[in-house]
Amino acid sequence: MADINARNSQGETELHKKVLDNDLPAVTHLLSNGADVNIPDNDGNTPLHKASAQFVLQALLAFGGNTHQINSKNENPRHIVAISSLEDKDAMLYILHAVGSPRCKTHLGTCTEGCAPDGNDNGKPPCVDCISRDRHSFDDVLENSMLDALKPAPSKGGRILCLDGGGMKGLVLIQILMAIQEAAGGRPILELFDWIAGTSTGGILALTLASGKTPRYTQGLCFRLKDSIFPGYAVSRPYDEKPLEDILKKELGAKTMMTDIKGIK
């Protein structure tokens, strides 16, 4: 089997090349099959350094692209976007700022307001009205969470993780789980809960987590499921269930029973 992270003479992987081509489907396919999102080329450039389109940038970030990584010129991805003339520059700069991409530690000479240590340009959201609505909704969630945190903790009971189903929700759940794991100091999700329950895609996610797979691995699995089960609009419904069964058997074991899962219910 070919090495998905194999490099050419410039140290570039196939992911580097597809990012340069702005080939989002190929980028997503490579990432979901285990391509290293943070592998540097001979000049220290990761695929994130090479991103020149908004949706490719977002895909790399969703799969764990490191916004702090610098190349041999001490440039991080934010600096490269900030000094560029890319069509998506404002949106890309906004997205990088939103996920905590740092400004340059020192002024590199080519720095602009978007990356300089004392700069004030953080880009522009791709949809101001959408961002505004989302922010208000998120504020409500935070306020309710703070009120819940003030309530006395129950003296007894189990820690239950409930995973809802429904298409894109599975990917959103995975991002949340990765954030929870990071906030818990990197502790595995299985150590943070006593019970895991799920429906539909949430049920598949619950099973893969219970079998010892990481949220990052399940993220790639979700994309592989999508490509195998829903191959295109030309396929008539209902979809063939065999690809789903084959993948689940491969990932979880053809003869695995619920009683085989240890340590969590």
pTM metric for this prediction: 0.68
Mean pLDDT, residues 138-161: 64
Tokens of 257: 């029973």
Residue closest to 71 by CA, chosen among 33, 34, 42, 99: 42
Does the pLDDT value for residue 168 go beyond 80?
A: no
Cα–Cα distance, 145 to 11 (Å, whole number)? 46
How does pLDDT run across 39-79, given as a tens digit for each residue?
Answer: 999 999 999 999 999 999 999 998 989 999 999 999 999 99
Residue closest to 206 by CA, chosen among 214, 195, 198: 198
Q: What are the structural domains of the chain?
A: 1-127 (1.25.40.20), 157-260 (no CATH)
Q: Sorting pLDDT into bands at 50, 70 and 90, what band is 218?
A: confident
